[in-house]
Amino acid sequence: MSLDPVDPPGGAPYSAETLLAAAAAASMRVRGRSADAAHDLFRAEQDRIDDAVRAAFGLQLARIVDTVATELMAYAGRSLAAAGHPELAMALTAGDRPYDLLVAHELLGDADLIEQLLGRIEIDAIADRLQGAADDDPERPSLLARMVEHPDRVVGNAARALLAADSRRRDAQEGYPIAHSDLSAECQHRLTWQIAAVLRGRGAHADRSELAALDSALADAVRRSLRAYDEGDRIETAAMRMATALDPAPAELGTLLLEALGDRRIALFIAFVARALGSDYAAVRALVLDRDGDRLWVALRALNLPRTTLAQIGFVLSEADPRRDLDRFVDRLDPAMLLSPDDARAALMILRADPVYRDAVAAMAQGRGV
């Protein structure tokens, strides 16, 4: 079947109703995927995650842990030395690598952390494989470059913040020091305290008063680190601010989505869709990463995008993500266009609910606890 939008529906056996059912079933699998990934990433005998993704996950998480641990050791060490415990301060910097200890004690199985970091790695991999924009005017500045010069100061500031966040993310990918973990505040909170706990183990042979001093120094170091952490610096947050500031009209949305993909700004693509659906970034990222794609096509139909635009998006993403089956997308294009935007929006209404509610619904559908 052709992707040409002028082709009439070819009587594909895959109906609009079947597409909705598949999209609903995919929603129930999302949370389970993170739990499976957590099991996979720390148990080498399981072969569920691509080796390249596994390696990238381990490398990025290890660098985040090393960065936080170094910060905690430096501040807590100074506090201990100043309090008259120089030997304990020295012991704090000795011993096994904190990341290895966290893995050994199975403290890195946080489903939210897995979902955020794994999602980031997979999205970045897709962005790297996206084809550049096929613009009739190759001299035309990119979308974000134009937005930086937008007459609306709010839009301009949001574009600059997104460019800065993207630059930090790319620097981290290329091995430069990590200035920001890009985790949510909740994940950063849990991870920082967990790192402090394994550092505490280096004082296992201290007496009671020394151990109390170590606890106090590490707690102060953690609180200092978390006070300095700004969740607003995340690329995901910056992209959502950009989409909110620009607030595109429905008629402009399709063009902006294609431009975002053409500029390899997949975070901005996700943010535009999330903003238009009234959902959050994480939920739409899951749609984009769903290799079957059923929910994404329903979501794009909910935005009342023309067939041409939906076909272009499907083709670009299928080309950039080797897990996607282009023939499968072609088979779903006509059924997707048979859906009314109202029916598509109703099918995805749960995406507008609180994430805790979505997780609970998915857990109950899978017959397990949250």
Measure the CA–CA gap between 309 and 304, rounded to whole angstroms: 10
Instruction: Quickly tell me which residue has 């910097």 as its tokens.
Output: 93
pLDDT at 138: 61
Q: Categorize the per-residue pLDDT at 355 as very low, low, confident or very high, splitting at 50, 70 and 90.
A: confident
CA 5, 9, 13, 17 dihedral sign is: positive
Of the candidates 153, 168, 159, the residue with the CA atom closest to the CA atom of residue 233: 168
Q: In terms of Cα–Cα distance, which of 323, 354, 294, 355 is closest to 111?
A: 355
pLDDT tens digits, 290-306: 887 788 999 999 999 99
The pLDDT tens digits for 31-41 are 556 666 665 56
CA distances to 72, 85, 188, 222, 310 from 82, in Å = 15, 7, 28, 18, 63
- Choose the most confident range, by mean pLDDT, from 22-36, 133-147, 200-214: 200-214
Q: How many Å apart are CA 304 and CA 298, to the nearest integer? A: 10
**Average of pLDDT values for 237-251?**
95
Judged by average pLDDT, the poorest of 146-155, 233-242, 347-356 is: 347-356
42 or 54: which leads in pLDDT: 54
Say whether pLDDT at 12 is over 90.
Answer: no
- Rounded Cα distance between 88 and 296, Å, is 54
Cα–Cα distance measured from residue 307 to residue 249, given in angstroms and rounded to the nearest whole number: 18
Q: What is the pLDDT of residue 182?
A: 86
Mean pLDDT of 10-36: 68
- Can you say whether residue 106 is alpha, beta or left, with left for phi > 0 and alpha for psi between -120 and 50 degrees? left
- Mean pLDDT over residues 57-71, rounded? 92
Mean pLDDT of 86-95: 89
Q: How confident is the model at residue 222 (pLDDT cuts 50, 70, 90)?
A: very high
| 235 Cβ contact partners less than 8 Å away, ≥ 6 residues apart | 162, 165, 166, 168, 169, 182, 267
Judged against a pLDDT cut of 90, whether residue 22 lies above it is answered with: no
Coil, helix or strand at residue 94: coil
* Stronger pLDDT, 5 or 214, i.e. the higher one: 214
DSSP 223-271: HHHHHT--GGGSHHHHHHHHHHHH---HHHHHHHHHHHHHTT-HHHHHH
Residue-level pLDDT at 2: 42
